[in-house]
Every structure is written in C-alpha cells, then in structure tokens.
Amino acid sequence: MTRWKCQNRQQFDKEKRRPISGRRCPAMSRRTFTRHFQKATGMTVVEWLVNERLRRGRELLETTSLSVEAISERVGFHTATASSER
C-alpha cells in the first residue's frame, strides 16, 4: 500500500486533480481496495485525497507566487472558498 501511495502521489501531482484508484488494481474490487486502503492509511480514500490536496496547496503557497485561486484550481478544488472550508 505504501508503494501505491507513493505512485499515486506522483500521479496526483502530475494530474493536479484526482488520484488513480482502482485502475491500478484490476484484480481487486473497489470495496476490497477501499477496505485495504483504509486499514493501511487510517483514512478513507476521500479523506486522503483532501489531505493531499491541502498538502500540495500549502506547498505551492510556500514556494510559488501563484494566487490562492490559481492554487485551488491547480490542486483540484473548484474555488478558493472550497479549499478554505477545509
């Protein structure tokens, strides 16, 4: 699962939107994947995704001169308000 998280984080950074979930595990049902993911990470896939978006947003705020709106869009929040609600 840790290897999946690293690969998925790289893919998330490339896509700036959402991770690849079950497509990387074709022999595993979505429910089984979700159960294993939660057991390995202690959070749901959605919780992990929101945390990754926030992590990446903080990183971009600290290292770029992009606006909050541009960063929100880049990490997958539709509006700056959506990211600030988290």
CATH number of 68's domain: 1.10.10.60
With b for 16 or more beta-carbon neighbours within 10 A and e for fewer, the 75-85 pattern comes to: bbbeebeebee
Helix 68-75 with 45-63: angle, nearest 10 deg? 140
- Note down the domain range covering 41: 2-84
How much is the pTM?
Answer: 0.61
Number of domains into which the chain is organized? 1
Percent of the chain beyond pLDDT 90?
44
Q: What per-residue confidence (pLDDT) applies to 14?
A: 56
pLDDT in tens, 13-39: 555 554 545 455 567 788 998 999 999
Helices (H) and strands (E) in the chain, counts: 5, 0
Q: What per-residue confidence (pLDDT) applies to 58?
A: 95
Q: How far apart are CA 59 and CA 16, in angstroms?
A: 13
Mean pLDDT of 75-86: 67
